[in-house]
C-alpha cells in the first residue's frame, strides 16, 4: 500500500486519500476506477446540495454507513456583547455540520480478533 506523506503527519501515521480509497474499492469490487469515482462525486454532490437546504425549520442527518452519519443543523444569528470593549457583536446564522460515529460502530471496530 502506498502511503501519502503530508505536512504535520508523523511518518508512521496512515493517511488514505479519496483517490486511494476509490482505487481500493475499484480493485476489490472489480469495477473500473472512473465508475467508482463517478459514484463518489455524485454522492458528494448530493450531500452538499442537501446540506445547503438546511434551515431553521429543517435539519439533516445523512447516513453514510451503518453507524457513521453527517448531521447538519441551523444555528440562528445572535447578538453578543464583548466583555472587554462592550461592543455589540452580531454572529450571522449558519449551518453547523458534524460527523457522528455511534458507540456500537466504535465497539465493532475495537473488537478483539476472534470475538463475535
pLDDT of residue 83: 87
**62-79 pLDDT, tens digit each:** 998 889 999 999 999 999
Same domain, 68 and 115: yes
Domain boundary pick from 5, 31, 52:
52
Q: What is the pLDDT of residue 1?
A: 47
- Domain range spanning residue 45? 16-52
Instruction: Return d(Cα 14, Cα 41) in angstroms, integer.
Output: 23
Is 111 domain-assigned? yes
pTM of the model: 0.69
pLDDT in tens, 28-41: 999 999 999 999 99
Q: Do 45 and 64 have their domain in common?
A: no
pLDDT the model gives residue 100? 93
Amino acid at each position: 500500500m502506498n502511503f501519502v506523506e503530508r505536512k504535520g503527519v508523523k511518518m508512521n501515521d496512515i493517511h488514505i486519500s479519496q483517490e486511494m480509497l476509490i482505487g481500493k474499492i475499484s480493485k476489490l469490487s472489480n469495477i473500473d476506477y472512473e465508475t467508482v469515482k463517478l459514484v463518489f462525486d455524485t454522492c458528494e454532490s448530493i450531500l452538499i446540495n442537501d446540506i445547503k437546504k438546511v434551515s431553521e425549520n429543517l435539519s439533516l442527518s445523512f447516513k453514510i454507513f451503518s453507524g457513521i452519519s453527517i448531521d447538519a443543523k441551523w444555528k440562528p444569528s445572535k447578538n453578543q456583547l464583548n466583555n472587554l470593549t462592550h461592543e455589540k457583536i452580531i454572529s450571522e446564522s449558519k449551518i453547523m455540520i458534524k460527523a457522528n460515529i455511534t458507540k456500537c460502530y466504535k465497539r465493532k471496530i475495537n473488537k478483539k480478533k476472534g470475538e463475535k
